[in-house]
Amino acid sequence: MQTITIPKKEYEALVDRGLRYEYLQKAIKEDVFLSPPEKNSKIVLKHMSATGKYSKKFIKSLEVGLKRSSYFK
C-alpha cells in the first residue's frame, strides 16, 4: 500500500463529492420522483407555510409553479 498526500482542501472536496454521490444514490433508490399524494395545491401551500422553514418569497414562487402544473389542476 502506498501513501499519497493531498492538500486538506482537496481531501474535503473529495469527501463532499462522495457524500453527495451516496445521497443521490439513496434518493434514486427511494423513488423520489413519485407524484405527491395531495392534489390540492392550496393544502400543499398551507402545510409548507405552517412549517416556518420557507420564506414568503419561496412560497409565492411555489404557488406560481403549482398553478402551472398539470398535476394540480
At 25-60, the pLDDT tens digits run 887 887 767 777 888 999 999 999 999 999 999 999
Residue-range definition of the domain harbouring residue 37: 8-68
Task: Determine, yes or no, domain membership for 2.
Answer: no
Q: What is the pTM of this model?
A: 0.51
Q: Are the C-beta atoms of 44 and 71 separated by less than 8 Å?
A: no
Task: Determine, yes or no, domain membership for 30.
Answer: yes
pLDDT at 12: 96
Mean pLDDT of the chain: 89
| Nearest partner of 44 among 23, 10, 67, 21, judged by Cα | 67
pLDDT at 70: 86
What is the Cα–Cα distance from 4 to 19, expressed in whole angstroms?
A: 21
Q: Domains in the chain: how many in total?
A: 1
Task: Determine, yes or no, domain membership for 14.
Answer: yes
